Structure 1
Amino acid sequence: MFNKVLLWGMLILPWFTLFFLKKEGIKRYMPVALFASLLMTIYNVVAYNQKHWEINDTINPWLKPLFVPGIFGGFLIVTIWIFYYTYGRFWKYLITNMAADFMFAIFPIHYLFQEKLGIYQLTYITPLGRFTLFVIFAIVLYLYQLWQEEIFIAK
């Protein structure tokens, strides 16, 4: 039961933090956050089929291949926050993103979710491998946002 409450909280609560950001910032970075969620959705489906992990607790059984609370809750909102405070300074962005990726992929969130709560279990990917993928995704997202900015300037 605790795991379900935690997962629902991870899905819903981050959205409330958007009240602390300016509306223009949310509108500016929501496309990259949605793209990030799309990338993570695709990755989750591939990873599920490649048996990178087993998900033991989920908020909805028919969405089991996806870690829904992470993709559409925490990950999407954290992407907005990171871009809001670091976009335009690539190295600051990358270091901030690497710190967040480390926390999710290696320690402490991964440790809590896998070792303590048993929400998922990595099988054919290591925490370091997952961290590396997340850093690559972060670079792709930054390039996507650069492209988005060009589109808005061209209008």
Structure 2
Amino acid sequence: MKKLLFIAMLIVPWLTMPFLGRSALKRYLPAAIFMCTFVKAIDMYGKQKRWWRFYKGMPPFKSVDFLNLGPYFVTSLWMLKMTYGKFPLYLISNIVFQFLFTFLGLKYLKRYKIASLVRLTKFQYLAIDFLRALLLYGFQYICDLGHIKKT
């Protein structure tokens, strides 16, 4: 059952990619790649500090990699496509999404032994997620500034 969950977490979000559109993918891909790399670094740092625990995954990935390369990566693309340029909507959407993940999603991650919080409270984790959302938007903004200067 757990292996099936890992595979679904990795594949199902990617099934939405054709609906994203080529131009949106091209525009937002650098920000999504940057964020997944940054999130991986934060995950490693947080694991070292015992903020959270990641349980055994399925080779060649750790359990957190399934989240990072599946839902988190694809959701970053969709969130930018749907809300970029409308900062208040972006913030509200992210806060709602992160709140749901923190207070509902983490419960399932712990139940299925994928990940769990150790030394962080849910509100501290929510704050980290909020900062990540600001970084994602800021990175995209800088990418767009660079693109404007090139043309």
**TM-score bracket relative to the smaller structure:** over 0.9
Equivalent residue for 1:107?
Answer: 103
Report 1:87-106 matches (<5 A). Answer: 87-104=84-101, 106=102
Q: TM-score, normalised by structure 2?
A: 0.92
Task: Determine helix, strand or coil for the equivalent of 2:53.
Answer: strand
- How many Å apart are 1:54 and its aligned residue? 2.1
Cross-structure match for 2:78: 81
CA contact (8 A) 2:64 2:114 kept: no
Q: Would you say the 8 A contact 2:31–2:140 is kept in 1?
A: yes
> Which aligned pairs between 1:1-16 and structure 2 lie closer than 5 A?
2-16=1-15
1:142: which partner in 2? 137
Asked if the contact 2:3–2:58 (Cα under 8 Å) also holds between the matched residues in 1, the reply is yes
Number of paired residues? 150
| Aligned pair partner of 1:117 in 112, 119, 122 | 112
Contact kept in structure 2, 1:56 and 1:120, CA below 8 Å: yes
Gaps of at least 5 residues in structure 1 are none
Q: Distance in 2 between matches of 1:147 and 1:134?
A: 20
Could you report, residue by residue, the CA deviation over 1:37-74 in whole angstroms, capped at 9, with x for unpaired residues? 011101110011111122224123x754x610111111
RMSD of aligned alpha carbons: 1.5
Query: 1:68 maps to what in 2?
Result: 65
1:117 Cα deviation (Å)? Answer: 2.1
Residue 48 of structure 1: SS of its match in structure 2? helix
Q: In 1, distance between residues paired with 2:121 and 2:3?
A: 25
Matches of 2:27 and 2:21, distance apart in 1: 10
Question: How far did residue 22 of structure 1 move?
Answer: 1.4
- Where structure 2 has 5 or more consecutive residues not aligned to the other structure, the ranges are none
Distance in 1, Cα, partners of 2:15 & 2:26: 15
Structure 1 residue matching 2:12: 3-state secondary structure? helix
Q: In 1, distance between residues paired with 2:61 and 2:9?
A: 16
